[in-house]
Amino acid sequence: MQQPPGFETNNPHLVCKLNKAIYGLKQAPRAWFQKLSNTLHNLGFNSTKSDVSLFVKFSKNSSLFALFVKFSKNSSLFVLVYVDDIIITGSSSQHIDSLITMLSKDFSLKDLGSLHYFLGIEVSTTSEGNLHLSQTRYIKEILHRTNMLESRAQPTPMISSLRLIKNASTAVQDPTLYRSVVGALQYVLITRPELSFAVNKVCQFMHCPQEHHWRAVKRIL
């Protein structure tokens, strides 16, 4: 804990009293990520330019980590962070275990073992050793929420001749449901990229969804 700005004192007998748990504060996620990222940077990791929550470390990075484990020539480690959920993978299980041991000195960790489910994405290992990603459970939850779990499947997510325009029908009864479902469909694109075009089209009418827009969404579902 540090003294807040505007209240600095050199009196060693004074302490700060925490009036509210850090999880209840707006700046908590930023403070947590800053603490974790600083720790990883000190261990020789760097954030990627494409995603600041993905940290990587290759064999030529450094010092502090080398005290715990000797890197092989082509070793690599990857750490993906989402709030307090973390995925760690790399070229060596020994390096992964060593990293977990070091992180446990600064943080309270719970090792859940091999990756099976992460942020709505199911992960399974094929017989060839590859990872298969799917969102079956997540998609079924969307279908259940819209009462379309038993609906008849369509061959394509959108009719090729369909033109979605404004003011072609009446407004939907529940615009919030429309926005919620379309937002959920955007997350489905992680494992279902073939839906991208259709989902992009229905996203363009989030501000004022109408019945024919909702019918297009139901076809995607």
Place of tokens 């992964």: 96
Burial class (CB in 10 A: 0-12, 13-18, 19+), 192: middle
At 96-130, the pLDDT tens digits run: 888 999 999 888 888 888 888 888 899 998 889 88
Residue 113 included in any domain:
no
What is the distance between the alpha carbons of residues 57 and 78, in angstroms, rounded to a whole number? 7
For residues 157 and 209, membership in a common domain is answered with: yes
Nearest CA-CA partner of 90 in 44, 29, 142? 44
Burial of 77 (0-12, 13-18, 19+ CB in 10 A): buried
Residue 56 lies in a domain: yes
Summarize pLDDT for 41-74 with one digit per residue, the tens.
Answer: 999 899 999 999 999 998 754 444 544 455 445 7
Average pLDDT over every residue of 179-199:
94
- Pair (1, 53) in one structural domain: yes
Per-residue pLDDT at 22? 65
Q: Is residue 109 part of a domain?
A: no
Residues 91 and 141 in one domain: no
Number of folded domains that form the chain: 2
Which of 81, 101, 121 lies at the terminal end of a domain, its last residue? 101
Does residue 129 lie within any of the structural domains? no
Strand ranges across the sheet with 117-118? 117-118, 121-125, 131-134
Is residue 119 assigned to a domain? Answer: no
Last residue of a domain, one of 101, 125, 154: 101
- The β-bridge partners of 132 are 124
Q: Is residue 175 part of a domain?
A: yes
176 and 88 within one domain: no
- Say if residue 1 is in the same domain as residue 88: yes
Q: Are residues 164 and 68 in the same domain?
A: no
pLDDT value at position 80? 93
Regarding whether 79 and 143 lie in a shared domain, the answer is: no
Q: Are residues 1 and 81 in the same domain?
A: yes
Predicted pLDDT at 67: 45
The single residue listed with the structure tokens 């990756």 is 115
Tally the C-alpha atoms within 13 A of residue 109's C-alpha that lie toward its C-beta.
17
184 pLDDT more than 90: yes
125: in domain: no
Tens digit of pLDDT for each residue in 157-174? 998 888 888 888 888 888
Q: How far apart are CA 120 and CA 137, in angstroms?
A: 7
* Distance from C-alpha of 142 to C-alpha of 138, rounded to nearest angstrom: 7
Q: Over 80: is that where the pLDDT of 4 sits?
A: no
What is the reported pLDDT for 32? 86
Whether 151 and 65 map to the same domain: the answer is no
pLDDT score recorded for residue 29: 83
Given this model, what pLDDT does residue 64 score? Answer: 47
Of 101, 120, 155, the residue at which a domain comes to its end is 101
Query: b vs e for 94-122, b when ≥16 Cβ sit within 10 Å of the residue's Cβ?
Result: ebbebbeebbeeeeeeeeeeeeeeeeebb
The answer on pLDDT for 21 being more than 70 is: no
- Does a structural domain hold residue 107? no
Range of the domain at 82: 1-101
